[in-house]
Amino acid sequence: MLRSDNILQIENDRLKESDMILSALEAAGVDNWDGYDIAIGIMIVLHTSMLSCIAILVTQIWWRQER
């Protein structure tokens, strides 16, 4: 079983790699590509959906604790 500090390290490594990839794409001019605006729109929708799911989960947890 993975310990929480190992999980955090794995996630940190993944985020660093994603950041390096994004930096390389930006340096190559990705913001001038035809699909850039579409990709940003998808990211915004996914982020908004994720926040909505978190809000629902927090509300459910709170509601169960109040019962």
Structural domain total, the chain: 2
Domain of 65, in residue numbers:
34-67
Q: Are residues 15 and 2 in the same domain?
A: yes
Contact 36, 30 (CB under 8 A): yes
The pLDDT value recorded for residue 35 is 85
Q: Are residues 23 and 38 in the same domain?
A: no
Contact 23, 17 (CB under 8 A): no
Residues 44 and 62: their CA atoms lie apart, in Å, by 27
DSSP annotation string for 12-45 = HHHHHHHHHHHHHHHHTTGGGSTTHHHHHHHHHH
The pLDDT value recorded for residue 45 is 92
pTM, to two decimals: 0.52
The pLDDT value recorded for residue 20 is 93
Q: Are residues 38 and 26 in the same domain?
A: no
Residue-level pLDDT, tens digit, the chain, 67 residues: 668 888 899 999 999 999 998 899 889 898 888 888 888 899 899 989 988 988 888 888 888 887 6
Q: Are residues 42 and 28 in the same domain?
A: no
Amino acid at position 8, single letter? L
